[in-house]
């Protein structure tokens, strides 16, 4: 099938790579196009295979997952989903800044793995609630209280700004539609406008932006 999502698996543990590959390979809409044991290999394999999604470990020899993510995103070599044991918040935040499109915990079940791959591959990557609270919340608490709002926020209409705030809280399009009493198609248009006007890659980056801009307080749910 030509429309299958191509996935590259990057982890320095062969058992982890094999486990992910077994889960993904049996799906009709997913194709595992390669594996890599470190960041340098990941970049090489990505250039060869042009994956839609890269499952990326963080701590690896040669080149860690954060630097590899930065290079892959810069060269438009796929959406990167960080795969982590979730023991280092600073690694996760750095990965977001590097352009990661989402996160997956290593103890996630098969359905979560498949959902993460499909979401990232279709450009609808979302942060898991626990990741949002721990990582983005931490980032917001470190934001200087007197830091002015970014000038580019003036590009947004009042409605688009409302949508950005709700994106930052992790709401889906249908949830935003319900909150603002709008149709989902209208919300989708507003989301696209927000991403385009603020030069954001995806919804995950919109979440980061909303917190960095001070539109959402770290104490908010």
Give me the mean pLDDT over the 42-64 stretch. Answer: 94
Residue 188 DSSP SS3: helix
Computed over every residue of the chain, the mean pLDDT equals 86
pLDDT of residue 221: 45
Do the two domains 5-125 and 144-212 of this chain adopt the same fold? no
In this predicted model, what pLDDT tens digit does every residue of 181-220 receive, in sequence order?
A: 999 999 999 999 999 999 988 887 888 788 888 887 655 4
- Report the run of H or E that residue 36 belongs to, with start and end: strand 30-36
In this predicted model, what pLDDT tens digit does every residue of 105-143 receive, in sequence order?
A: 888 889 989 988 998 888 766 566 566 666 666 665 666
pTM above 0.85, yes or no: no
Q: Is the pLDDT of residue 53 over 90?
A: yes
Sheet with 5-10, strands from edge to edge, namely 30-36, 5-10, 53-57, 79-84, 102-105
Inter-residue contact 57 to 11 (CB < 8 Å): yes
* 5-125 fold: Rossmann fold (3.40.50)
Task: Kindly report the CATH class assigned to 144-212.
Answer: mainly alpha
Q: Closest Cα to residue 216, out of 151, 147, 164?
A: 164
Higher pLDDT, 205 or 162: 162
Domain ranges (residues) in the chain: 5-125, 144-212
As a whole number of angstroms, the distance between CA 26 and CA 30 comes to 8
């Amino acid at each position: 099938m030509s429309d299958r999502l191509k996935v590259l698996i990057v982890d320095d543990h062969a058992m982890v790579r094999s486990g992910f590959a077994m889960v993904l390979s049996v799906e009709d809409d997913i194709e595992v196009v390669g594996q890599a044991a470190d960041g340098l290999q990941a970049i090489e394999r990505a250039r060869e295979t042009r994956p839609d999604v890269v499952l990326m470990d963080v701590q690896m020899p040669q080149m860690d997952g954060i630097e590899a993510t930065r290079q892959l995103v810069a060269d438009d070599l796929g959406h990167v989903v960080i795969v982590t044991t979730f023991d280092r918040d600073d690694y996760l935040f750095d990965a977001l800044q590097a352009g990661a499109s989402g996160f997956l915990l290593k103890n996630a079940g098969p359905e979560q793995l498949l959902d993460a791959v499909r979401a990232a591959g279709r450009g609808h990557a979302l942060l898991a609630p626990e990741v949002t609270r721990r990582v983005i919340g931490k980032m917001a608490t470190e934001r200087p209280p007197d830091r002015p709002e970014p000038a580019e926020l003036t590009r947004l209409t009042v409605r688009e700004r409302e949508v950005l705030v709700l994106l930052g809280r992790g709401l889906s399009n249908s949830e935003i539609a319900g909150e603002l009493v709008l149709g989902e198609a209208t919300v989708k248009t507003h989301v696209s406008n927000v991403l385009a006007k603020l030069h954001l890659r995806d919804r995950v980056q919109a979440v980061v932006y909303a917190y960095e801009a001070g539109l959402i307080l770290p104490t908010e749910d």
